[in-house]
Amino acid sequence: MPTRPPRLLGAALLLASLLAPLAALAEPSPVGERPALGQGAPAPAAGEPSPWTASFQSTYVLQRKAGFQAAYTGPNSLVTAPETGYTLTATLFLGVRPWPGAELFVNPEVIQSQDLSHLAGLGGLSNGENQKSGGPLPTLYRARAFLRQSFALGGAESRVDAGPNQVAGTVASRRLVLTAGNFAVADVFDQNALAHDPRTQFLNWSLMGYGASDYAADVRGYTVGLALEWYWDAWAVRAGRFAQPEESNGLPLDLDLWRHYGDVLEVEHAHELFGQPGKVRVTGFHNRARMGAFRDALAYAAAHGGPPSVADVRREQSKYALGIGLEQGLLEDVAAFARYSLNDGRTETYAFAEIERSFTAGVVVKGRPWRREGDTLGVAVAVNGLSDDHRDYLAAGGTGFLIGDGRLNARTEQIVEAYYSLRAFPGLWFTADAQHIANPAYNADRGPVNIVGCRVHVEY
């Protein structure tokens, strides 16, 4: 039987205490100013680059799904009975500066989890800490091992504090940055400051990034690749090529980047609107892999009998996706974000979420007005949809990696999430989270479902 969640929380806090010597290297900043994943060693004196950084995070998420009504249940449906699930992760962020302008990082990571409904039955899954290969036994792996090289091109210089995968120093407003090795696409692209990191922000997968991007990653969310970024004052342009899994939603990566790959191109512009900062991003995705097309699967099933399966018709194919994102300050302590993404909807989900159309929007408020400067309140909505091809495939009894009720009364999947993050003291946050999901897995014959949860996040 899986380890009970309270014991897991105790294990997380014990691990944090064993690593307490790292606290002497850290002085976490307020929640609205720190890096997304945590806070590392303090910066040296101004103008003096640091030779290294070390930081640690552990996050425990406990969720309880209420029971709900459904006219029928299929092979990849959300279970109608009440359920409890959890995730526990712990990560070390270790980095050195081997020569001027370079940073080398390694991130050992551990995960232990018990998934709701075996991680099936939703387009926007409820916990971004979940992995498609998680389980009740702790698993140690290398999350990242990469090199970042920066080339200053002039412009103004600004101070960069130490943090997870960031060595303290200065950066030029005009620069080239080359990143190569084992990391995540989301480490470089779509760096939304309000909805990006499930360890500190919204939990639902739909709110972590572009839901319809199907970006290249193994089942843990990491990949191997190369990214080049060009910064010129308010503008940034990023491009990268990344390894796809050897097979759909698999763990081993196909390192033949000339044959199978995920390409990403992003343009970003920073601005001020009524005195408040904001950013606009446009991101394009091109994935190339052996994928099954929904129409091909339907034709194969019509000729051979049985329910359609994309596994029967996989061949070399491309998938294209587009994302548009906005984040904008509204008041001193209030900011909003919105994203829209879509893909061509022809082929199976290869690496991320089973979403082909997605619109998300939300508001985040810092706690200063009620004298809780370290607290954060967030509310967001997500509306996810499928292509016509995918709807017909599911209605005919087809299944994907994450969804498939055997039948389908198609509707958009609609999600509302709210969280309150309370900073107990520097380095420790407690979060209460609630999600309401209508038409889970795009099926009006099932749901709605309510999921409540809590999160404990520790960082040094």
- Backbone φ and ψ for 446, nearest 5 degrees, come out as -135, 140
How far apart are alpha carbons 459 and 448 in whole angstroms? 35
Distance in Å from the first CA to the final CA of the chain: 32
The per-residue pLDDT for 133 is 78
Q: What CA–CA distance (Å, rounded) separates 172 from 191?
A: 19
pTM of structure: 0.88
Cβ neighbours of residue 104 closer than 8 Å, sequence gap 6 or more: 95, 96, 97, 98, 146, 147, 148
pLDDT of residue 41: 38
Tokens linked to 103: 């940073």
Q: How far is CA 109 from the centre of its chain?
A: 16
The whole-angstrom separation of Cα 79 and Cα 100 is 54
Q: How far is CA 183 from CA 145, 246, 457, 459, in A?
A: 7, 17, 22, 20
Token readout for 227 is: 């990214």
CA distances, 338 to each of 207, 245, 304, 311, 411 (Å): 9, 29, 44, 35, 21
Instruction: Give residue 48's pLDDT.
Output: 66
The pLDDT of residue 132 is 82
- The residue type at 340: Y
Domain that holds residue 275: 5-459
The DSSP letter of residue 258 is T
Q: How many folded domains does the chain comprise? A: 1
The sign one gets for the Cα dihedral 386, 390, 391, 395 is negative
Could you tell me the two tokens for 421? 């993050």
**Structure confidence at residue 23 (pLDDT):** 33
Do residues 218 and 253 make contact, with C-beta atoms less than 8 angstroms apart? yes
Per-residue pLDDT of the chain (460 residues; tens, 9 = 90+): 344 444 434 443 333 333 333 333 333 333 233 333 333 334 344 446 789 999 999 999 999 999 999 999 999 999 999 999 999 999 999 999 999 999 999 999 999 999 999 999 999 999 999 988 778 999 999 999 999 999 999 999 999 999 999 999 999 999 999 999 999 999 999 999 999 999 999 999 999 999 999 999 999 999 999 999 999 999 999 999 999 999 999 999 999 999 999 999 999 999 999 999 999 999 999 999 999 999 999 999 999 999 999 999 999 999 999 999 999 999 999 999 999 999 999 999 999 999 999 999 999 999 999 999 999 999 999 999 999 999 999 999 999 999 999 999 999 999 999 999 999 999 999 999 999 999 999 999 999 999 999 999 999 9
Give the model's pLDDT for residue 199. 97
Identify the H or E element spanning 436: strand 428-438
Q: What is the CATH number of the domain that holds 29?
A: 2.40.160.180
